[in-house]
């Protein structure tokens, strides 16, 4: 599976689209709001910027994308007014993989520009807003050197650039049979392969951004992780455990070949805080300003009572739709499932998830990291940070 070509959130505005099923991601964005505000306040206060370069890495599509950039522009404008400075022009870059639904995103822009002009007074001199799409993998260079002032990424960096080496679908021996990610039953070689792929990817991400951000530039990253050093804990992988269970139920019904499940491994990794700090400190270009962890309900907290039959069904369906909007493109590419079989798979997944969450409210762990690009002429040593769990 070529992740760069295959991975994308479900397109359009239909019942299974990402635009209609990204409540959890919206919740995650809200958790990072204060940290984004702090980073922008410091950036705007310390530097008088005429033209501010801002990049959203892993932008996807839908209303979440534009809500974040609107918030960022509000903060910069308010800070500029407080400091009695001219509001900078905004150079906004939306990045995602080539198969992202950029068309749907761009179709939202006319209404966005109208809102900027009517509600915020942007679009007339001296303030300007210039938006561009930048397709490509963020595990490499995307922008010219020293061209960005602020970079942010939400719910994207847990995706790897590729399936870990040795776990590809074409591998001679399948090492993780019956599972689609790290599991309690996975051999150590599988765990090591995932860990090594994350280290290579994350270090390349940090290195690339260090060249694109100006000295003193800021970066806020938010993505799924885990509390424990042990990668097999429920908060780091259990949604994949339940998806594997749903897939194996289709194997028993003859709808999917067992070998197809054995050869599928998700290009995903939920790191712990220690792994993040090691790679950031090793690369050496950034200061860790904040590193915090938040617990997030699988359904975004929409269903309060999951102990009755209705609550169990509702939470299962909400989680299944959220996961489907994210992973369907990969499953479709690997398993070649028709729409009817895909519906059956996620109906079973919804039932399995509902049963699980009626017994225990397993939560995602979401990290939010705020980084400062070191000034080249100042010897600033990054200090290890404590992780605060909320």
Span 223-244, pLDDT tens digits: 999 999 999 888 888 999 999 9
Instruction: Calculate the average pLDDT of the chain.
Output: 88
How do the pLDDT tens digits run along the chain, 390 residues long? 577 677 777 787 788 888 787 888 888 988 899 999 999 999 998 899 999 999 999 998 878 889 899 999 999 999 998 999 988 999 999 999 998 999 999 999 998 888 887 776 655 444 588 999 999 999 999 999 999 999 999 999 999 999 999 998 787 688 898 899 999 999 999 999 999 999 999 999 999 999 999 999 999 999 999 999 999 888 888 999 999 999 999 999 999 999 999 999 999 999 999 999 999 999 999 999 999 999 998 888 777 666 777 888 888 999 999 999 999 988 998 998 889 999 999 999 999 999 999 888 889 999 999 999 998 644 333 334 445 444
According to DSSP, the β-strands at 213-225 and 89-96 are unpaired
Contact criterion met (CB below 8 Å) for 216 and 367: no
Residue among 219, 215, 221 at smallest CA distance from 273: 221
Cα-based distances in Å from 309 to 15, 347, 358: 23, 15, 9
- Compute CA distances 63 → 108, 150, 194, whole Å: 8, 20, 32
Contacts of 217 (CB under 8 A, 6+ apart): 43, 148, 149, 150, 151, 372, 373
- 242-280 pLDDT, tens digit per residue, is 999 999 999 999 999 999 999 999 999 999 999 999 999
Domain at 3-373, CATH class = alpha beta
Q: Is the dihedral of CA 46, 47, 52, 56 positive or negative?
A: negative
**Stated pTM of the model:** 0.90
């Amino acid at each position: 599976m070529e992740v760069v070509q295959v991975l994308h959130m479900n397109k359009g505005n239909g019942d299974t689209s990402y635009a209609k099923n990204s409540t959890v991601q919206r919740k995650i964005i809200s958790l990072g709001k204060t940290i984004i505000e702090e980073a922008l306040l410091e950036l705007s206060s310390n530097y008088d910027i005429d033209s501010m370069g801002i990049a959203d890495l892993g932008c996807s599509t839908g209303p979440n994308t534009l809500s974040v950039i609107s918030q960022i522009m509000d903060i910069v404008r308010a800070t500029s007014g407080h400091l009695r400075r001219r509001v900078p022009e905004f150079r906004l870059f939306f990045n995602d993989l080539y198969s992202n639904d950029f068309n749907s995103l761009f179709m939202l822009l006319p209404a966005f520009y109208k809102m900027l002009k009517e509600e915020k007074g942007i679009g007339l001199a001296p303030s300007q807003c210039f938006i561009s799409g930048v397709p490509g993998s963020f595990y490499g260079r995307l922008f010219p050197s020293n061209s960005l002032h602020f970079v942010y990424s939400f719910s994207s960096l847990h995706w790897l650039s590729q399936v870990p080496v040795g776990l590809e679908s074409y591998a001679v021996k399948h090492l993780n049979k019956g599972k689609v990610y790290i599991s309690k039953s996975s051999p150590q070689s599988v765990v090591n392969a995932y860990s090594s792929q994350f280290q290579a990817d994350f270090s390349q991400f940090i290195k690339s951004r260090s060249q694109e951000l100006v000295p003193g530039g800021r970066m806020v990253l938010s993505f799924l992780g885990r509390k424990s050093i042990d990668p097999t804990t429920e908060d780091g992988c259990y949604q994949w455990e339940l998806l594997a269970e749903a897939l194996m139920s289709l194997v028993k019904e003859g709808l999917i070949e067992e070998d197809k499940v054995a050869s599928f491994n998700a290009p995903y990794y939920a790191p712990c805080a220690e792994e993040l700090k090691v790679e950031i400190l090793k690369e050496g270009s950034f200061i860790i300003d904040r590193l915090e962890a938040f617990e997030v309900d699988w359904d975004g907290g929409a269903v309060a009572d999951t102990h009755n039959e209705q609550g169990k069904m509702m939470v299962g369906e909400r989680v299944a739709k959220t996961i489907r909007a994210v992973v369907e493109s990969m499953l479709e590419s690997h398993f070649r499932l028709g729409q009817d079989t895909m519906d059956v798979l996620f109906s079973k997944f919804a039932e399995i998830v509902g049963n699980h969450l009626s017994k225990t409210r397993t939560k995602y762990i979401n990290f939010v990291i705020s980084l400062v690009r070191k000034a080249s002429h100042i010897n600033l040593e990054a200090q290890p940070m404590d992780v605060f769990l909320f």
